[in-house]
Amino acid sequence: MYPSAFEYSAPGTLDEALSALGEAGDEGRVLAGGQSLIPMMKLGLAAPGCLIDINGLSELSYIRESNGDLAIGALARHADVAASDLVGRTNGTLAAAAPWISDPLVRNRGTVCGSVAHCDPEGDWNSVMLAVGASVVARSAAKRRKNRERVIPIADFVAGPFTNSLNPGEMVAEVRVPKYRGAAGGAYLKLERKIGDYATVGVAAHLALDAAGNVAEAGLALTSVHQHNLKVTEAEALMAGQTPSPELFAEAAEAAARSCDPESDIRGPADFKRAVVAEYTRRGFAAALKQARGEG
Amino acid sequence: MQINVTINGTGETRDVESRRLLVDFIRTDLGMTGTHIGCDTTSCGACTVLLDGKPVKSCTVLAVQADGHEVTTVEGLGQNGELHPIQGAFKEHHGLQCGFCTPGMMLVGASLLENNPSPTDEEVRWAISGNLCRCTGYMNIVAAIQAAGGDGS
Amino acid sequence: MSTVHELRTSPEIGGVGHSVLRKEDDRFIRGAGSYIDDLTLPGMLHMAILRSPVAHARIGSIDSSAATALDGVLAVVTGEALAAHGLAWMPTLSGDTQAVLATDKVRFQGQEVAAVIAADPYTAADAVKLIEVEYEDLEAITTPQQSLSTDTLIRDDKEGQTDNTAYTWEAGDQDAADAAFAAAARVVSLDTHYPRSHPAPLETCGVVADVNSITGQATIYMTSQAPHAIRTVFALVAGLPEEKIRIVTRDIGGGFGNKVPVYPGYVVATAASLLIGKPVKWIESRTENLISTGFARDFHMHAELAIDGENRITAMRADILSDQGAFYSDAQPSKFRAGLFHICTGSYDFPAAHVTAKGAYTNKAPGGVAYRCSFRVTEASYLIERLVDNAAHEVGMDPADFRSLNFIGADQFPYLSPTGFVYDSGDYHGAMDMAKELIDYDGWRARQAEQNSDPGADKLIGIGIASFTEVVGAGNSREFDILGLKMFDSAELRVHPTGKAILKLGVQTQGQGHETTFAQIVAEELGIPYSDIKVQYGDTDNTPYGLGTYASRSTPVGGAATAVVSRKLRAKARKLAAHLLEAAEEDLEWEPGKFTVRGTDQSVTIQDAAFAAYTNHPEGMEAGLEGVTYYDPPNMTYPFGTYIVVVEVDTGDGTWKVLDMAAVDDCGVRINPMIVEGQITGGLTEGFAKANMQWITFDDDGNCIGSNFMDYLVPTAWETPRYKLGETVTPSPHHPIGAKGVGESATVGSPAAFTNAVVDALRSRGVTNIDMPVLPHRVWGALNGVDVSP
């Protein structure tokens, strides 16, 4: 199993890469970690005519604080996030998810931005990003300077299964995650049958508390139970301003189970997946609360 | 296109098709067959090499992406005619049976020990969880990696 | 039973019982193994196969013009082209026929339709995509139940085949069983499916066929567990003179039964090499491996136990429906149509049993290979061990106590089973007692009672037991043959003048360590250090004929042959020693490596005797110290053991994890304990895999789900349990060194232990069965009374 033939370029600067991407049109794909793209090409599920390899652009390899946000560059690998003290200190949901992305070798190569751009409904990162309210920074070589960078809220970015809202010629240059001020915590619970498996169900839960200990902000998003990663706005809304409690989390869990639309397949019937969504929502918020309260 | 890859410390220059997988470049173009192929889906880790020191699956990297980079394969584990401690430990602890996963397991193990010379059972299992073995049941692989950390460095 | 084997040799000699390090490892740890895909011959071409995308269809036209026109393509081979040479069909190991390349219909998704021969593998793969085939879809039959009730005939190629039955078979005494059931105090039954699985060794199958068009010499390098048998099959299929066929196996990256059969790719590559006159390489992709080569299991089983008022089992009835796929190609002895499934009475002493079995063709890949298993003993062991667990609960006994009550006693061996097996030796109570102690069985039961009694507990503890009896080491040759080839095996031993030796085997290693353990057998018998003995196998020109390695037969048959040939040479060495010492043979005492004249310090080493065999042999004696033995075992060997697993089930998401596991194995005398333990931990892991995640299934259209390692799940180190191992030693009374096979025990025995453990955790919630693999959704379904099939 081999990829079909394609044109390859490895630009030396981001501007060159963006130009090449613009010129390639529909045939162009950015090659970052390649841990989804190359297998898809080998299996014949993707056959881009032109790959623009950005692995030489070391300036995109960062995880840093930027204007109060956590900024993850296009070449930050999953392993970088998993090992990042900054992420560990500032975002419990990201920190919880990173070790469970695929397997250790894939994490050494695959990138967060690549996964976000891929919009695989069974991918973990977009649930995390939806829960924490991230934004995607899209760059292009558009003629007008003001069009060269767009900041897209993640909820708008995820347009469907394997479909994002990038325009032709745009690439994901960065993902920005708001940093919490005050007590916050998060969790990512993933039902997988083995390491390297896609999630049967994944639940990203994020919780920020106000000074009184009530819910300032709740984030909840689901993996593999809808045609795209699903932000459960109903649950988020019903929790806002409330006092966190098992009963509140159970309400959110019910909303999550109601909102999702899983398929019955080899990994179980829809009802099972809904039940796990509810279970993991309860567990996820319980863990997030503990973390927010500094209990563990 | 022409690429130059430093493989086990030696520069190799070759013309390759852009779609050529790194594993085929290593096995066929360079004739170094210690790196194996066990699947097509980035699942098994038989093709593990170190790319700039980090273990990756060479079936999921293009040869052109290794241009200007350093690759270490099982053939480069030993230095100056001496085995790497992990190689001896795999034999000593019966960490292999058919030998097919062994190069990948040893490379991942060696990479782990660079950063963590005394890993726990759980840490080793986590580190090798991208590599499949069908023969051993892993217990002796874990023991071998731990022993290599203990004896070796 | 004893727990240790008495060592008769020094560590330097390294005979039986020494955990010497493996000789073969020196190349593997350097990446210097020589697997099939590592072989490159001058001028070698590459083959890729076009496979059917659908499960059942009539083939219309095949247009290969675009593929043929592609730069670098030498030929496109179709079934029609093979038919012209009489090669479109081939025999299976069960005496059925199988299409090499389809000519009339495709009968499973992934079936071989055409092959491209090209200068390099990338071009071959490109060309395959350019071949256009017309398929006229037919009804896809995806279950054996459907198969036996439909009018659609899958094997319309077979004369006289009027329905989809592949075979029928029975064993035991129906009247006796029925009478026992009529008198039973209780009857316990179980319906379960042992799912389709695949051995999936890490190295896929492959071949490099090199046929010299001038000499007609065919050298075929291939991944085969049975090279000699394959040579004969090739001679029969291709009509090539057998002396001109040489099969060479090289290093094999795991077999587990996958590499026993002949696959179409081997035949096509050989035919292509013959026609083109250049070597042709074909290496399976993982998907090809999983969708087209030998599957295993797929048994739908119903069974019942009759139990008397004293909780003794009195009889068993079992009825099996096996899903054979499109071609009946079980790798098993001719006489036994459902393999050795009738060993299903297991470790228990009862007088009556009756087993009926039927196989059905379906539109699925063929196979029925014994995946780390001795011809369906895995299915049999699973059935009885699941059933016995249910029976124990039904009668209100602890499952360990119920087993012990019903075990065949150590004093009952040799034991004639109600289906006709003669168990050679055993001590089942000993293994059970040791396993219970090793894991602190009573302690776990107490903890379970405490934890599970909380009705709100979201983590439930379960304890599962399996006390398996295996049957390995076919034949004897009276009863056992494959395609008429009797199941003996062979060893040829040559001791060189300097006392170093070469041992040539008819069996084959796929990672089991034959280069070490077989040298240890010679070391034990002759006292020559194991490091001085080279072991050769896997080259039909240079090794004696044998049936190969599967069904744990290497040690029972090939190992016995090795011991016997060594003893032959020792007898001759004794004569040489007597000659050198000017003593009578009967005055010589033997200790490994040395003959001593009784009561003196005069001695001759085996090396001295070997030297004399070539330099100073007595008049009237043939020179040389070599011999060959073809060993026909008087009986099979019957390894056994008890495995106990403790699991914790999460009732919220249906996941379970192993908290503790003890595995006590008795495989008779252990030649190399280190290697034996490696076989056991590996086998336990494959058993865990099947119980936990590993299966192949199909949708209603016959599309294979499980066609790559993203869908066919193989456990990593992270999921895999840790094991506590124990050993008892009950030698086989008929094996020359008392050894039994061990490679498969753990895969045979452990799946029932894992499944029993999960079911045990859920007993208090009314659960009596969950089919493997015990995936989270199935646990959840069982807990919530929801049908979750598949």
CATH number of the domain within which C776 lies: 3.30.365.10
Q: Which domain holds residue C371?
A: 296-407+427-474+635-784
Question: CB of A193 within 8 Å of any CB in chain B?
Answer: no
Give per-residue pLDDT as tens, C196-238.
Answer: 999 999 999 999 999 998 999 999 999 999 999 999 988 987 7
Cβ contact, residue pair A7, B18, below 8 Å: yes
Q: Would you say residue C70 lies in a domain?
A: yes
Do C692 and C590 fall into the same domain? Answer: no
Residue range A184-213: average pLDDT? 97
Residue in A with minimal Cα distance to C694: A193
* C304 carries an active-site annotation: no
Residue in B with minimal Cα distance to C513: B97
Cβ contact, residue pair C716, B128, below 8 Å: yes
Question: CB of C31 within 8 Å of any CB in chain B?
Answer: yes
With vertex at residue B15, the alpha carbon angle to CA B10 and CA B17, rounded to the nearest 5 degrees, is 125
Residues in chain B within 8 Å Cβ distance of A45: none
- Say if CB A269 and CB C788 are below 8 A apart: yes
Pick the CATH number of B2-76 from 3.20.20.140, 3.10.20.30, 2.30.30.90, 3.40.50.300: 3.10.20.30
DSSP lists the bridge partners of residue C489 as C631
- The tokens for C222 are 């291939």
CA dist., res. C523 & res. C530, Å (int): 5
From the list C111, C225, C332, C510, the catalytic residue is C225
B153 has a pLDDT exceeding 80: no
Q: Could you tell me which residues come within 8 angstroms of residue A281 by beta carbon, excluding any fewer than 6 positions away?
A: A203, A205, A220, A235, A249, A252, A253, A256, A257
Please name which of B104, B93, B91, B97 lies closest in space to residue B132, comparing C-alpha atoms: B104
Name the residue ranges covered by the structural domains of chain B. 2-76, 85-152
Give per-residue pLDDT as tens, C354-398.
Answer: 999 999 999 999 988 999 999 999 999 999 999 999 999 999 999
Give per-residue pLDDT as tens, C618-633.
Answer: 999 999 999 999 999 9
Question: CB of B98 within 8 Å of any CB in chain A?
Answer: no
Chains that touch C (3 or more CB pairs under 8 A): A, B
Pick the CATH number of A184-292 from 3.30.9.10, 3.20.20.150, 3.30.390.50, 3.90.550.10: 3.30.390.50
Please name which of A106, A22, A96, A14 lies closest in space to residue A53, comparing C-alpha atoms: A14
- Say if CB C763 and CB C459 are below 8 A apart: no
Strands (E), chain B: 2-7, 10-15, 48-51, 54-57, 70-72
Surface of B (48-77) touching A: CB under 8 A: 48, 51, 54-57, 59-62, 64-65, 67
The percent of residues in chain C predicted with pLDDT above 90, rounded, is 95
From the list C284, C648, C744, C778, the catalytic residue is C744
Q: Would you say residue C160 lies in a domain?
A: no
Q: Is beta strand A63-66 parallel, antiparallel or unpaired with respect to A158-160?
A: unpaired
pLDDT at position C6: 84
**How many A×B Cβ pairs under 8 Å?**
84
Provide the ipTM. 0.98
With vertex at residue C716, the alpha carbon angle to CA C713 and CA C718, rounded to the nearest 5 degrees, is 130
Write the residue in B32, B132, B140 that is nearest to C678 by C-beta.
Answer: B140
pLDDT at position B151: 46
* Greater pLDDT, C152 or C5: C152
A206 has a pLDDT exceeding 60: yes
- The tokens for B11 are 């520069």
What one-character DSSP code corresponds to residue C559? I
Name the residue ranges covered by the structural domains of chain A. 7-53, 58-178, 184-292
What one-character DSSP code corresponds to residue C354? E
Cβ contact, residue pair A193, C122, below 8 Å: no
Give per-residue pLDDT as tens, A43-90.
Answer: 999 999 999 999 999 999 999 999 889 999 999 999 999 999 999 999
**How many A×C Cβ pairs under 8 Å?**
70
* C196 carries an active-site annotation: no
Place of tokens 């390098």: C221
Give per-residue pLDDT as tens, A281-292.
Answer: 999 999 999 999
DSSP lists the bridge partners of residue C673 as none
Cβ contact, residue pair B129, A104, below 8 Å: yes
Give per-residue pLDDT as tens, C256-304.
Answer: 999 999 999 999 999 999 999 999 999 999 999 999 999 999 999 999 9
Residue range C34-46: average pLDDT? 98
Write the residue in B37, B91, B132 that is nearest to C25 by C-beta.
Answer: B91
Mean pLDDT of chain C: 96
* C686 carries an active-site annotation: no
DSSP lists the bridge partners of residue A63 as A72
Cβ contact, residue pair B64, A10, below 8 Å: yes
Question: C199 — phi, psi (to 5°)?
Answer: -65, -35
CA dist., res. C648 & res. C48, Å (int): 46
Cβ contact, residue pair C30, B74, below 8 Å: yes
Confidence of residue C2 (pLDDT cuts 50, 70, 90): low
* Alpha-helical runs (H) found in C243-328: 264-276, 286-292
Give the CA dihedral B15, B20, B26, B29, nearest 10 degrees.
-40
What's the length of chain B? Answer: 153
* C719 carries an active-site annotation: no
Give per-residue pLDDT as tens, C682-716.
Answer: 999 999 999 999 999 999 999 999 999 999 999 99
Q: For residue C247, give the H/E element and its range.
A: strand C245-248
Residue in B with minimal Cα distance to C673: B94
CATH number of C284's domain: 3.90.1170.50
B152 has a pLDDT exceeding 50: no
Pick the CATH number of A58-178 from 2.40.50.140, 3.50.50.60, 3.30.465.10, 3.40.50.1820: 3.30.465.10
Residues in chain B within 8 Å Cβ distance of C683: 137
Residue range A109-119: average pLDDT? 98
Cβ contact, residue pair C776, A196, below 8 Å: no
CA dist., res. C241 & res. A262, Å (int): 60
Do C700 and C772 fall into the same domain? Answer: yes
pLDDT at position B111: 98
From the list C51, C250, C372, C570, the catalytic residue is C372
Write the residue in B20, B34, B100 that is nearest to C32 by C-beta.
Answer: B34
Give per-residue pLDDT as tens, C653-675.
Answer: 999 999 999 999 999 999 999 99
C789 has a pLDDT exceeding 80: no
Amino acid type, C722: R
- Say if CB A113 and CB A73 are below 8 A apart: yes
* Half-sphere exposure of residue A25: CA atoms within 13 angstroms, side-chain side: 0
CA dist., res. C536 & res. C515, Å (int): 7
Q: What architecture (CATH level 2) is domain B85-152?
A: Orthogonal Bundle (1.10)
DSSP lists the bridge partners of residue C301 as C192, C320
Please name which of A288, A257, A276 lies closest in space to residue A190, comparing C-alpha atoms: A276
Residue range C444-450: average pLDDT? 98
C612 has a pLDDT exceeding 50: yes
Cβ contact, residue pair B129, C723, below 8 Å: no
Please name which of A20, A177, A9, A185 lies closest in space to residue A92, comparing C-alpha atoms: A185
Q: Would you say residue C168 lies in a domain?
A: no
Confidence of residue C3 (pLDDT cuts 50, 70, 90): low
- Say if CB C218 and CB C266 are below 8 A apart: no
Q: How is domain A7-53 classified at the CATH fold level?
A: 3.30.43
Give per-residue pLDDT as tens, A248-259.
Answer: 999 999 999 999
- Say if CB C213 and CB C271 are below 8 A apart: no
Instruction: Name the interface residues of A facing C (CB cutoff 8 Å).
Output: 1-2, 4, 44, 103, 191, 193-198, 200-201, 266-269, 271-272, 275-276, 279-280, 283
C240 has a pLDDT exceeding 90: no
Residue range C551-555: average pLDDT? 90
Cβ contact, residue pair A109, B126, below 8 Å: no
Question: CB of B139 within 8 Å of any CB in chain A?
Answer: no
Residues in chain A within 8 Å Cβ distance of C125: 1-2
pLDDT at position C4: 62
CA dist., res. A87 & res. A134, Å (int): 14
Give per-residue pLDDT as tens, B39-88.
Answer: 999 999 999 999 999 999 999 999 999 999 999 999 999 988 899 999 99
**Distance of residue A283 Cα from the nearest chain C Cα, in angstroms:** 10
pLDDT at position C234: 87
Domain count, chain C: 3
pLDDT at position C456: 86
Give the residue from C288, C653, C685 with the most A CB atoms within 10 Å of its CB, the best one to mutate: C653
pLDDT at position C228: 95
**Distance of residue A10 Cα from the nearest chain B Cα, in angstroms:** 8
pLDDT at position A1: 87
Residues in chain C within 8 Å Cβ distance of A280: 653
CA dist., res. A77 & res. A103, Å (int): 12
Residue in C with minimal Cα distance to A103: C716
Residues in chain A within 8 Å Cβ distance of B127: 104
